[in-house]
């Protein structure tokens, strides 16, 4: 989510699976945090996800593996504890993977609009389809956090800016494609699984944002539906 800056005039604005960068603004470096010796409420599930022996008991090796996952995806505190936030991210990844190449199996994204970009907030997935044909995706996305939700409904891309910079947050928003006020598809330099979410935009990896940029044009439809977990 970012204000729209056009040629020096500030416009009014409200703003598959890869290994993204770690969050750049954690409360403290991961190295400075102590490693938790406590067994978390989701210990066995987290161990299984990470390919660790799923005995449900915290070990030094478990903690190291959990901390690495937390640091990679900006989950704080980065102490290797198998808590609800860490498991929530992993559970979402599992659900995203289970979708396979049929993201619109439920038929909720319109198939009578031609080329359309779909955003499933519940699964934090997006894809581009043309009628019933899948054109690209599904890809993981990071949508608006609680009180900054990505707004649902049928919209249209109305402005594109490949080198956009938010005038609200003074951060780059490469490959921006705006479809609802200041809400846009754009790439980010942090994990798309980083909680709690964006300020309303649909964050994507650079690879996926570039592909969306090449496939979409002004006037193309965007359909956003569902509800992001935690909002």
Residues annotated as catalytic (active site), given as ranges: 186, 201
Contact in structure between 165 and 10 (CB atoms under 8 Å):
no
- Provide the 3-class DSSP secondary structure of residue 180: strand
Judged by DSSP in three states, 15 sits in: coil
Across the chain, the runs of DSSP E, i.e. the strands, are 4-6, 9-11, 115-120, 125-130, 133-140, 153-156, 159-165, 172-180, 183-187, 202-204, 221-225
Q: At what angle do helices 84-99 and 60-73 cross, to 10 degrees?
A: 70
Residue 120 token pair: 């499933």
């Amino acid at each position: 989510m970012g204000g729209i800056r056009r040629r020096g005039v500030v416009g009014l604005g409200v703003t598959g699976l890869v290994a993204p960068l770690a969050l750049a603004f954690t409360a403290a470096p991961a190295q400075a945090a102590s490693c938790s010796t406590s067994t978390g409420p989701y210990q066995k599930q987290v161990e299984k996800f990470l390919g660790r022996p799923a005995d449900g008991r915290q070990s030094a090796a478990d903690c190291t593996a959990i901390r690495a996952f937390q640091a990679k995806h900006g989950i704080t505190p980065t102490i290797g504890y198998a808590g609800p936030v860490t498991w929530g991210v992993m559970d979402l990844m599992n659900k995203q993977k289970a979708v396979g190449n049929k993201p619109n199996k439920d038929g909720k994204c319109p198939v009578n609009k031609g080329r359309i970009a779909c955003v499933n907030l519940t699964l934090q997935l997006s894809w581009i389809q043309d009628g019933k044909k899948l054109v690209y995706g599904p890809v993981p996305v990071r949508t608006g956090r609680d009180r900054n939700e990505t707004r649902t409904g049928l919209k249209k891309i109305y402005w594109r800016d490949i080198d956009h910079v938010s005038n609200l947050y003074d951060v780059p928003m490469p490959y921006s494609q705006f479809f609802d006020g200041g809400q846009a598809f754009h790439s980010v330099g942090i994990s798309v699984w980083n909680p709690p979410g964006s300020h309303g935009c649909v964050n994507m990896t650079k690879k996926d944002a570039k592909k969306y940029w090449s496939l979409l044009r002004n006037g193309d439809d965007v359909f956003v539906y569902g509800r992001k977990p935690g909002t």
